[in-house]
Structure 1
Amino acid sequence: MFDTEPLPRFACPDWWEKLQAGEVPIAPVPINAEKKAKLLAFFNRLRLPDVPGNPTMAEACGEWFKTILVAFFASEDPETHREIVWELLCMVPKKNSKSTYVAALGLTALYMEEAPNRQMLLVGPSQNISERLFSQAQGMIDLDEKLKLIFKVQDHLKTITRRKTGTALDVKTFDTSIVTGEIPVLTIIDELHELGKKAKAAKVMQQIRGGGITKVRGKVLMITTQSDEMPTGIWESELKKARAIRDGKGGRSPIMLPVLYEFPVKQQLDPKFWGDRANWALVLPNLGLSIDEEALEADYENNGRISKQVEQIWASQHLNIEIGVGIGGDAWSGAVHWEGASVPGLTLDQLLDECEVCTIGVDWGGADDLAALAVVGRRKRDKVWLLWAKAWARKTVFKQRPKIADALRGFEEDGDLSVVDSPEKQAAEAAAICAMVNHTGKLPEAGGIGLDVAGVALLLDALEEQQMASPLIQSVRQGWALQPAVTTVALKLESRRLLHADQPIMAWAVGNAKQELKGNNYMVTKEVSGAGKIDPLMAAFDAAMLMFNNPQPSGTSIYEERGILVI
């Protein structure tokens, strides 16, 4: 018997086959033919203001983008005649005329909107990008006398208004105040990946999406390249959602239509594949239009291959190769298996409830560094290891490490990072977690808490105040001595004999981790990993080193000792 159940809306299981055939990797959607014709008639007349000869979009725009334009604005349920695409996420590599096309799309939307006095937003992540978006739209209007009669341009406000309706397209730089009062009927966000570095981005996106449940529904179009660092924040969550919808795992009736120009994970993991110039065209829909193939190859040879790190950044921007978990020739060997070994929502309380014994690893840091604690538990029913972590940052970290400040704020919102005023507070909070675990009776009498001894004096004092000392607390040798953890934890992840709590801060640390072979030992150290923070992973290695000793729990918990029944 054949399974004839229809695919979930917007699922595109054959997206890779479509890319290989030179097609747009998009699910088919029903289209209103009349609206499509009107859209393309206006869009195609727009001219490129920064290209010699000012060709029209009919000549110069890739068909892939016109497909996106039509799907976003002309989708319609043939029975109810209601629009079905309310959000669209397009990820396409750099230099595919993304920003220019988006400016033209914004003007087209403004022309098509018949409702009076509405608000539309065209949002860039930085002032430079916002100004370029506005200048492109303004340049298109300046090239056409008829468009000057249709639109009023206010340069000082970065606003374009359709005279007939009073509806305005405001070009803005992303910040927490871009949405004030009225919910926009359309929001176009360029370079969404940059918002992953902004801590408040999720709240602003929620405010923008508030229009989705009103009678005058708001549409959202997001277009971006891949991030030049590991995806975090709103970018990570939107990308995961788009991939899930594309793969048929995003529910029955999603409202986001994903269009992702990327290689499958297997191909992203293979530098020989994505390094082959013959495969670049698969994810570069504007190759031969805005992208010159010879120039791209020359740029790769002369600028993209300076070092392994530079090559990864180049590939992320020009080929949408994701940096972080599983990507990068010198990545920690466990990174590729990290995502597949997650238990979303696993809490410390659940870990303690399911495990017969636990060990704790601690990696401490200075004023410009993170501190981290990891708990590894051995599950009662099958001996699988479970992992949960917590990190701390002093306020000085945000000043001294500005490049990761927004990412840290996001981890703080997740609840996985605590920002504290003093090292004493940091030590006290970590010691309190150790004490809580110890009180359950799940720690062994000796070797239950393992420390990298660098800079832990305050922590040792805090642990002593909680009646914890040697032999419960032991030092864990670093460097080459962590080889068993570096290699064995990777193998346990691959076999799913180690499962983790799917915490973004841990995925970030894993993505930052680099390993090198010294003699016969694979080493992951802070020195090898450079500026990327790996403290939570190092804490997990410390806890793993203690768990290798096959510890047994100390026995009775403090609650049982006091005659308290815990249910």
Structure 2
Amino acid sequence: MSATEALPRFACPDWWEKLQAGDVPMADVPINEAKAARVLAFFNRLRLPDVPGNPTMAEACGDWFKTLLVAFFASEDPDTHRELVWELLCMVPKKNSKSTYVAALALTALYMEEAPNRQMLLVGPSQNISERCFEQAQGMVALDEKLQLIFKVQDHLKTITRRKTGTSLDVKTFDTTIVTGEIPVLTIIDELHELGKKAKALKVMQQIRGGGITMQRGKLLMITTQSDEMPTGIWKAELKKARAIRDGKGGPKPIMLPILYEYPEAQQKDETFWRDRSNWGMLLPNLGLSISEQALEEDYENNGKVSKEAEQIWASQHLNIEIGVGLGGDAWRGADYWETCGDEKLNLDEVMRRSEVCVVGIDGGGLDDLFALTVLGREKGSRRWLHWAHAWAFPEVFERRKDIDARLRDFEADGDLTICQEVGDDVTGAIAYIQRLEAAALLPIQTPAIGLDAAGINELLDGLEMAGFDDKRWIGVGQGWKLNPAVLTLPRRLKDRKLVHCASDYMAWTVGNAKTELKGSNYIVTKQAAGSAKIDALMATFNAAMLMFGNPEAPASLNDFLSDPVMVI
């Protein structure tokens, strides 16, 4: 984009420079100054109920939040005089008083709304968070006699009503029934990242946003820290959209204003950078207000550094470092290099086109587990390994493992996971992929083509036999310490980019879940070591790797007719 070309609405290409300068990382928004003055006048008089001396927001609130407040409530197109900011997503690290500030913002919104008998919602992902928000708002009203005349507080209903208009603010815990009947004129969602773990969050968000196309438009404010897991579900979608808008790739006229306190991707991946405490302040707008620099450093020393995994979680909460793959410590070493070996253009067709031979690894599962298949191809010419994977799940997985429900739905939407309708759908689906490879003369016939967990399900073996794959075409791969060659060798291939994969979120999640244990002189990766997290596709990858170590060859009679090798890029 040239210097003279107009930026898309809410684009902020200099957001990193603004953060480094101590400014709010958001686009400049035209403001109705008279309305902004009214908003600030009310907001500034509110008092903090849980701080000694009960200071006013004028004294205690960081300027960054007042900038957010004004942009959200007083934005105005100078030509049409219509509001511009209908949605706002703010991601700011933990302990920056966002829940307290949000309670004050909600009261301000209730005071500013002149339409009668409307509904506003302040939604927390858990009862503790929603009650904390209500207690803060209730406490602010209780500290000011004039506000007690303006607002009616109903503690048992967690509702605050403006007496003059009848418009109410309901503080609720998130569930699928929070939106009933009338569409709220304002919805505030605290800790949006937690909703990424809830399966029905997208449906509820669609209901909330239904008010955005009515004459009485609804506004939406989302404020959150980064997730302490890989982003998923509605959080993953909203964060991706916010970043696209910020970077000028969200269309010409978005309605969401993004304010993201985060380092650029390169700095997030650079542990030396984010461990440097001189770089922390740019992401902590309340440093010196609600955050003590000394206390933060002591917390890091005593809690954040106790293990690699603890440090990653600490960094995700206090520095908004996005957790991807690899938690260090007892994580599988291949996780350190997984992301750098991804190729989004690589799919199964491309693996088949570029490979001289392929092998298959399978890790079967029961009704409440995943069934995973991996294809490893050896690239013509370069002899790099090309990786592709797919998984199947029965509805029981979603019912019994609700903690990963939303994540699995994401993988289904990406096309990397199939939900089985009947018993045997997983086996049938896997065999169909194997038959594709067989028809393309890519599976070896002199050595086993399919590697299975030795404790694999008999239904799979029956299906293979019916499809023409006798026991010479498949082999039971020993698990545990017997997989040590794959556990140790694949990280070397990844570091040297001699293994390239299709960059799926499903595999990144699987690899990130893997933990290693030292048993005797061997490192093992087991389902037990990973706890309740799923590593099925990685185990299938190990099974396939054990076959590829045997230097398999495709049928010699057809090998001569393969196309020219693909050169290494």
TM class by shorter-chain length?
0.7 to 0.9
CA 1:141–1:252 in structure 2 vs 1: closer, same or farther (change >3 Å)?
A: same
Q: Percent identity?
A: 66
The answer (yes or no) to whether the contact 2:358–2:444 under 8 Å persists in 1 is yes
Moved more, 458-467 or 289-298: 458-467
The answer (yes or no) to whether the contact 1:10–1:245 under 8 Å persists in 2 is yes
Matched, 1:486 2:485: no
Q: TM-score, normalised to structure 2's length?
A: 0.86
The number of residues matched between the two structures is 551
Report how far residue 328 of structure 1 moved.
4.7
Matched, 1:101 2:101: yes
CA 1:347–1:167 in structure 2 vs 1: closer, same or farther (change >3 Å)?
A: farther
The answer (yes or no) to whether the contact 2:355–2:378 under 8 Å persists in 1 is yes
The answer (yes or no) to whether the contact 2:90–2:258 under 8 Å persists in 1 is yes
CA 1:351–1:165 in structure 2 vs 1: closer, same or farther (change >3 Å)?
A: farther
Q: Deviations over 1:126-161 (max 9, x none)?
A: 111111111111111111111122222222221212
Alignment partner of 2:554 out of 548, 552, 555: 552
CA distance in 2, matches of 1:219, 1:547: 56
Match of 2:240 in 1: 240
Match of 1:8 in 2: 8
The answer (yes or no) to whether the contact 2:115–2:165 under 8 Å persists in 1 is yes
CA distance in 2, matches of 1:388, 1:181: 46
The answer (yes or no) to whether the contact 2:351–2:377 under 8 Å persists in 1 is yes
CA 1:214–1:422 in structure 2 vs 1: closer, same or farther (change >3 Å)?
A: closer
Which amino acid in the other structure matches residue 404 of structure 1? Answer: I
Which amino acid in the other structure matches residue 92 of structure 1? Answer: V
The answer (yes or no) to whether the contact 2:193–2:227 under 8 Å persists in 1 is yes
Q: Deviations over 1:212-250 (max 9, x none)?
A: 222222211111111112211111121122222222222
Give the alignment's Cα RMSD to 1 decimal.
3.4
CA distance in 2, matches of 1:438, 1:151: 73
Matched, 1:36 2:40: no
CA distance in 2, matches of 1:555, 1:125: 61
CA distance in 1, matches of 2:84, 2:271: 38
CA distance in 1, matches of 2:342, 2:494: 11
CA distance in 2, matches of 1:386, 1:32: 57
Secondary structure of 1:197's aligned partner? coil
The answer (yes or no) to whether the contact 2:361–2:374 under 8 Å persists in 1 is yes
Match of 2:295 in 1: 295
Report how far residue 188 of structure 1 moved.
0.7
- After TM superposition, the structure 1 = structure 2 runs for residues 239-258 of structure 1, keeping only pairs within 5 Å, are 239-258=239-258
- After TM superposition, the structure 1 = structure 2 runs for residues 136-535 of structure 1, keeping only pairs within 5 Å, are 136-325=136-325, 328=328, 330=331, 332-333=333-334, 338=339, 341-343=342-344, 358-365=358-365, 369-376=369-376, 387-393=387-393, 401=401, 403-408=403-408, 410-412=410-412, 416-418=416-418, 426-435=426-435, 437-439=437-439, 442-445=442-445, 446-476=447-477, 479-482=483-486, 483-489=488-494, 491-492=496-497, 498-500=500-502, 503-514=504-515, 526=527, 529-535=530-536
Which amino acid in the other structure matches residue 536 of structure 1? Answer: A
Report how far residue 45 of structure 1 moved.
0.7
The answer (yes or no) to whether the contact 1:43–1:57 under 8 Å persists in 2 is yes
The answer (yes or no) to whether the contact 1:484–1:545 under 8 Å persists in 2 is no
The answer (yes or no) to whether the contact 1:244–1:250 under 8 Å persists in 2 is yes
Q: Deviations over 1:507-542 (max 9, x none)?
A: 321332356899999876546655532222332444
Report how far residue 449 of structure 1 moved.
2.4
Moved more, 470-479 or 416-425: 416-425
CA distance in 2, matches of 1:248, 1:432: 43
Match of 2:562 in 1: none
Secondary structure of 2:280's aligned partner? helix
The answer (yes or no) to whether the contact 1:327–1:336 under 8 Å persists in 2 is no
Report how far residue 266 of structure 1 moved.
2.3
Report how far residue 99 of structure 1 moved.
0.5
- After TM superposition, the structure 1 = structure 2 runs for residues 109-128 of structure 1, keeping only pairs within 5 Å, are 109-128=109-128
Report how far residue 24 of structure 1 moved.
1.1
Secondary structure of 2:172's aligned partner? strand
Match of 1:18 in 2: 18
CA distance in 2, matches of 1:200, 1:243: 23
- After TM superposition, the structure 1 = structure 2 runs for residues 51-66 of structure 1, keeping only pairs within 5 Å, are 51-66=51-66
CA distance in 2, matches of 1:88, 1:111: 20
Long gaps (5+) in structure 1:
557-567
The answer (yes or no) to whether the contact 1:486–1:524 under 8 Å persists in 2 is no
The answer (yes or no) to whether the contact 1:444–1:554 under 8 Å persists in 2 is no
Which amino acid in the other structure matches residue 204 of structure 1? Answer: V
CA distance in 1, matches of 2:316, 2:16: 18
CA distance in 2, matches of 1:355, 1:122: 54
CA 1:301–1:210 in structure 2 vs 1: closer, same or farther (change >3 Å)?
A: same
The answer (yes or no) to whether the contact 2:360–2:449 under 8 Å persists in 1 is yes
Which amino acid in the other structure matches residue 460 of structure 2? Answer: L
Secondary structure of 1:116's aligned partner? coil
Moved more, 176-185 or 424-433: 424-433
Report how far residue 421 of structure 1 moved.
8.7
CA distance in 1, matches of 2:358, 2:515: 27
CA distance in 2, matches of 1:214, 1:462: 55
CA 1:264–1:144 in structure 2 vs 1: closer, same or farther (change >3 Å)?
A: same
Q: TM-score, normalised to structure 1's length?
A: 0.86
CA distance in 1, matches of 2:494, 2:448: 19
Secondary structure of 1:360's aligned partner? strand
Which amino acid in the other structure matches residue 389 of structure 2? Answer: A
